[in-house]
């Protein structure tokens, strides 16, 4: 069933967009099934869960961290994570830089913006992002590289609202690309879109869609996870 779902979802992915299979809460067997169907890009939102899955699954998987990241958990993912989508403070970026140094690598990161109307969602606003990028501390960070932005739309049936929030995120990406990241072609990723709204996200310029339940089925949050 995962294989069929993956085939179906893949048939809807626009050119130039990469599909992240969001496997949080799902057992390793489910990821293995997606892997055997050709999927190499997975998203997790808990550091210990990602570590446990990384340990047992094939090493050519690209791991994306998409959840709220606690500074004391970065050490569980720093060695191998391909992209951290959820940078929402200078403090977190500094902590990621520190762990990256230990592994002698540069970790790619996205700035997470708050574009939804819900107050619970994490993320920066434009003024906070600019303050971060203008800070002398940021200029000292050589083991992190910001390659784009991430955001989540409001959880709503209102498609127009979702579209306008994705447009806002895209406009932030464009503004940053033409100011702080001029001459940095690697700053090009726009991570937006989930199972319920990735079609709209792609129409509005997403380059990375994070799709969970449409591939793996509904999640059961009663299953305890490691952190
Ligand atoms: C869980 C999650 C997703 C995937 O959600 P689905 O609706 O299952 O596709 C995408 N992005 C983030 C940040 C998530 O936490």
* Whether the predicted pLDDT of 124 surpasses 80: yes
Query: Looking at residue 122, what is its pLDDT?
Result: 83
Pocket of ligand 1 contains residue 211 by CB under 6 Å: yes
Q: Atom of ligand 1 at shortest distance to CA of 196?
A: 7
Ligand 1 centroid–CA 19 distance in Å is 12
Tell me, in angstroms, the distance from the centre of ligand 1 to residue 134's CA: 31
Query: What confidence tier does 119 reach under pLDDT thresholds 50, 70, 90?
Result: confident
97 contact partners, CB below 8 Å, separation of at least 6: 107, 141, 142, 143, 144
| Average confidence (pLDDT) over 119-139 | 93
Straight-line distance from the first to the last Cα atom of the chain, in angstroms, rounded to the nearest whole number: 28
Residue 84: DSSP 8-state: E
Long-range Cβ contacts of 18-22 (<8 Å, 24+ apart): 18/207, 18/208, 18/209, 19/209, 19/211, 20/64, 20/66, 20/191, 20/208, 20/209, 20/210, 20/211, 21/211, 21/212, 21/215, 21/216, 22/66, 22/194, 22/210, 22/211, 22/212, 22/215, 22/216
Question: What number is the average pLDDT over the span 38-60?
Answer: 98
- The Å distance, Cα 166 to ligand 1 centre, comes to 15
Q: What pairing do the DSSP bridges indicate for beta strands 18-22 and 208-211?
A: parallel
The pLDDT of residue 70: 97
* Atom in ligand 1 nearest the alpha carbon of residue 213: 8
221 confidence band (pLDDT: 50, 70, 90): low
pTM of the entire predicted model: 0.95
Cα radius of gyration (the chain): 17
| pLDDT at residue 2 is higher than 80 | yes
């Amino acid at each position: 069933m995962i294989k069929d779902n993956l085939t179906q979802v893949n048939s809807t992915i626009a050119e130039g967009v990469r599909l992240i299979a969001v496997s949080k809460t799902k057992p390793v067997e489910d990821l293995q099934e997606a892997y055997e169907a050709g999927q190499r890009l997975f998203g997790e939102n808990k550091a210990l869960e990602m570590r446990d899955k990384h340990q047992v699954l094939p090493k050519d998987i690209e791991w994306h961290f998409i959840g709220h990241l606690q500074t004391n958990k970065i050490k569980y993912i720093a060695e191998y994570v391909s992209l951290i989508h959820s940078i929402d403070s200078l403090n977190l970026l500094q902590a990621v830089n520190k762990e990256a140094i230990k592994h002698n690598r540069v970790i790619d990161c996205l700035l997470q913006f708050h574009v939804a109307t819900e107050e619970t969602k994490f993320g920066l606003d434009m003024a906070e992002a600019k303050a971060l990028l203008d800070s002398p501390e940021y200029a000292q960070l050589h083991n992190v590289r910001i390659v784009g932005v991430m955001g989540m739309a409001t959880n709503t049936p209102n498609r127009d609202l979702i579209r306008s929030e994705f447009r806002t995120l895209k406009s932030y990406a464009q503004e940053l690309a033409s100011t702080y990241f001029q001459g940095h072609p690697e700053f090009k990723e726009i991570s937006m879109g989930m199972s319920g709204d990735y079609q709209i996200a792609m129409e509005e310029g997403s380059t990375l869609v994070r799709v969970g339940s449409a591939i793996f089925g509904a999640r059961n949050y009663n299953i305890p996870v490691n952190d």
